[in-house]
Structure 1
Amino acid sequence: MHVYPPPPPFQPAPAPMPVRRWWQHPALIICLLVFLPPAGIALTWMSRWSRNKKIVATVLGGLWFLLFVFSDPPEEKTDDAKGAAKPTVTATVTSSGTPTPTPAPSKTEGAPAMPSLVGGTYADSEQLLTDNLGRAYAAYKDVELPADHAAWTVCFQRPDAGAPVSSAVPVVYLTAPGVPCPASPNAVLHKPTPKPTPKPKPTTPKPTHTQAPVPTQEPTPTEDAGDDSSSGGGSVYYANCSAVRAAGAAPIHRGDPGYDSHLDRDGDGVACER
């Protein structure tokens, strides 16, 4: 009789593994960690890797990203002779048979030279200025340059005569016919005339009007006018002693001009003695 071992206890079937998405593929995550570390780190924590692998991948990806951000860009090697034209050297054979190198003329030597425009008219230099985008200005800053200035005289030019035309934009400064050139450009032609200072008017003192003395009316002659005892006679008459003193005639004695009995109160023959 055979004895059979007891059957093992019932074990549930293992759960099926979840389906791996395309963004959880290890190759994709590694490529992103190298070329785009922020996206690679994000997908690392969405993958099925173990926690330790995720930590290691995050640290490496972060260091690689910081190294890429804070590292200086590589310096580009520039050829010094790339921008400059290399002089062409031509060999000249001498009588001894030894070739002598002759440097080629530079661009500046072949450029046309600026002619002398000072003293001529704008019409003479108009073609040169037009071809080289030149400009014209009035030599005096307070004078406006008209539209038709062909007959105006050139006083200054830039660049100077003999300089290459291509070295700067040609500029000329003009004056009207008959107007002399200034000492330097942008001078002032019409200087303001100072206003004369008005002279102070002499003050004439006003005359003081003094009141004329009021003439004293002479009394009407009466029958008693011929009495020598009460009047001194004559045409002089004083109203009171104040008038006598004001005239400088005090005292008046009987018989003097202007004596009157109304001035002699005490009747002693002397009036206005006090």
Structure 2
Amino acid sequence: MYPPPHAHTPWQPIRRWWQHPALIITALVLLPPAGIALVWLSQWNQKKKIIATVLSGLWFLVVFLSPDAPKKTGDDAKSKSPTAVTATATPQSSAPAAAAPSPTPASAMPSVVGTPFAGAEKAVEALLDTELTARSAYTDVTLGADHTQWVVCFQEPEAGSALASKSVSATVHLVDAGTTCPTEKGTALRPKSSPTPKPTPTPEPEPEPTADNDDSGSGGGGSVSYRNCSAVKAAGKAPIRRGDPGYGSHLDRDGDGIACER
């Protein structure tokens, strides 16, 4: 016997990716114009192409070109707006919202001026973790070992200042009980007096040369006499003639009656 002849298989064209039925149907629903174009490029028969084109065109006219479509779209957007959602959700929240906790106010530095140091320590011990520092208000007064009863004159920080934390350092300036506070910090209780400058001595005027009495002179007479010619010249009387005040023979060496001529 002879083997049966092979059946003849008709030739079929190769299908492209844009000819896939699922892609074409999706395009017909979402974007009818593109879907219709893909239908006529597909391998469907003529009858299927016509039916798909008519149905997709009617779908496009009803859904996309209907005059009520923008209104419905706007109504849908309005119904989905945050305001509508909030209005709908508001009646459901019947319980009042819990109030947010208010921040704890910062502690303020109390006023301790005028109080003893012991009282100042008690006033700030609950506000600060650090010890209260004590200093003397006067620069020339040493802080006593037992200064619990010394009075506060100045404080740091100032009264009413906000304390950011309990680790802030506080300082007070004290004076002994019964001592008046200074007007400002850094003042000496007993300031040293500046030395009084000694007055500059006024030089005494030199005495004018006085003529010595000399009774040995002749012809001079009077009470004026000169010891030598230097004294005569210093007095501006040279030369002296016989008979002038201060003339003496001891001044006239040559005896011509004119003394201290040179």
TM-score higher than 0.5 = no
Q: Higher relative CO (CA 8 A, sep ≥ 6), structure 1 or 2?
A: 2
Task: Give TM-score scaled by structure 2 length.
Answer: 0.38
Task: Give TM-score scaled by structure 1 length.
Answer: 0.37
